Each structure stands twice: as C-alpha cells, then as structure tokens.
Amino acid sequence: MITCKSEHALIAFGANLPIGGEKPEITLAKASKALASQGLEVLALSRFFATPCFPAGAGPDYVNAAAVIGWKEFGIAPLDPASLMSRLHAVESQFGRKRVQRWGMRTLDIDLLAFGDSVLPDPETHDFWRKMPAESQVGTTPETLILPHPRLQDRAFVLVPLADVAPDWVHPRTGLSVREMLAALPQADRDAVTPL
C-alpha cells in the first residue's frame, strides 16, 4: 500500500486469454515488469484476483490486478495522461492485444483509472459519463479520455484489487475513497472477486 501523490497514476490490469501457452496471471506479472520499458515504475502491485467475465457470457473469466505507478520525466516535459495512455497501449501490444471489440476477450488490458487528482476533460463532461447508465454505455464511447475512469466506482473487479494498493485514494468528483466505493457495492459483487 502506498500514499498516492499527484505524480502517480492508478492503473488496472486484466486478461482472460492465454498468450504463448501462458496463463493470464503470467501475462499480468510480465506486463507489470514490462512497464519499465516505457519509463514507468510500479510503486505498488496488488494481488491477482479471479473475476467473472464482464459483461457476463462474453468469454472466459478474468484475472485482474491494480497498481500505483510513477514515471521519470522524458526530456523537459513531464508525462501527461495522453502520453501515459500511449505507453500503456504499447505494453498491451507487446502482449498481443488487438482492439477489435469493446469489452471483448483479450490477452491483456491496461486501463488508466486515475492520473493524480486530475478530472478530464472537465468536471461537467466527467460527471456526464460517470452518471450515464451502464446499459447506455454499451453502444456509446467517449471521444476523449475521461479521468478518473467513469465506471471506476461501479466495478468490484477494479475496486477489490485497487483496495490492495490505494485504499485511501479519494475520487476527486465524488469525495469517496476506494475503500468507501468498494463498501458501497453489493456484497455479491465483492465476493465474486477472489484472490488467486
């Protein structure tokens, strides 16, 4: 567990397909180390958790984890959220990720959950996406990066691992900590996320 600072980001890992004959948990372990190739440092990594596939019936169950990451400056400009996303996508590509279907099966998914206490692109747009009903999001994709991740507070498969590494991080729009967001979820959702 680590105290998150403004120069830290929160990320989530997920995988439900093997690559090169290796199980998803091996992929997540290797991917967490591969972040260093992009100048990213894992400051805290959660345990790995087995989680039901989301949405239900979309494929094999997942292995999920979360991490707090930091970075070194590149040249004279500090890393920004869009550049960080590009680096995370580069690591996904190393592990065979192909962006074919939203919420589909994948060898590796790395989501940027939060970038310090940034609210992007602005508070009103963030609130619009965060409050959008889940069923409406299936066919709708934002055209810009939304941070913190607009579904963060709804997903046990994100919050359970995140509680391992950043339980006291506070959502800048809701004012709730990871621990509080997790406690607000149905017990059945929390119980479905189990340590490997």
Structural domains of the chain sorted by starting position, each given as residue range(s) with its CATH number in brackets: 9-191 (3.30.70.560)
Residue 122 pLDDT more than 50? yes
At 27, is the secondary structure helix, strand, or coil? Answer: helix
pLDDT at 7 over 80: no
How many helices (H) and strands (E) the chain has is answered by 7, 6
Ordered alpha helix ranges (H), the chain: 24-34, 81-94, 123-131, 134-137, 156-165, 178-183, 187-191
Task: Please determine, for residue 102, whether its predicted confidence score (pLDDT) is greater than 80.
Answer: no
Task: Return d(Cα 109, Cα 132) in angstroms, integer.
Answer: 23
For 148-194, the pLDDT digits (tens) are 999 999 999 999 999 999 999 999 999 999 999 999 999 999 999 99
Give the pair of three-digit tokens for residue 82: 């869009």
Question: What pLDDT is attached to residue 4?
Answer: 55
Decide: 128 and 120 in contact? Cβ < 8 Å: no
What pLDDT, on a 0 to 100 scale, did the predictor assign at position 54? 66
- The pLDDT of 84-112, averaged and rounded, is 79
Q: What is the mean pLDDT of the chain?
A: 87
CA distance 50 to 185: 18
Report DSSP state, residue 48: P
Per-residue pLDDT band at 67 (split at 50, 70, 90): very high
What is residue 76's predicted lDDT score, i.e. its pLDDT? Answer: 38
Cβ-Cβ contacts under 8 Å for 176 (sequence gap 6 or more):
153, 170, 184
pLDDT score recorded for residue 18: 87
Region 95-116 average pLDDT: 75
pLDDT tens by residue, 10-35: 999 999 888 888 999 999 999 999 99
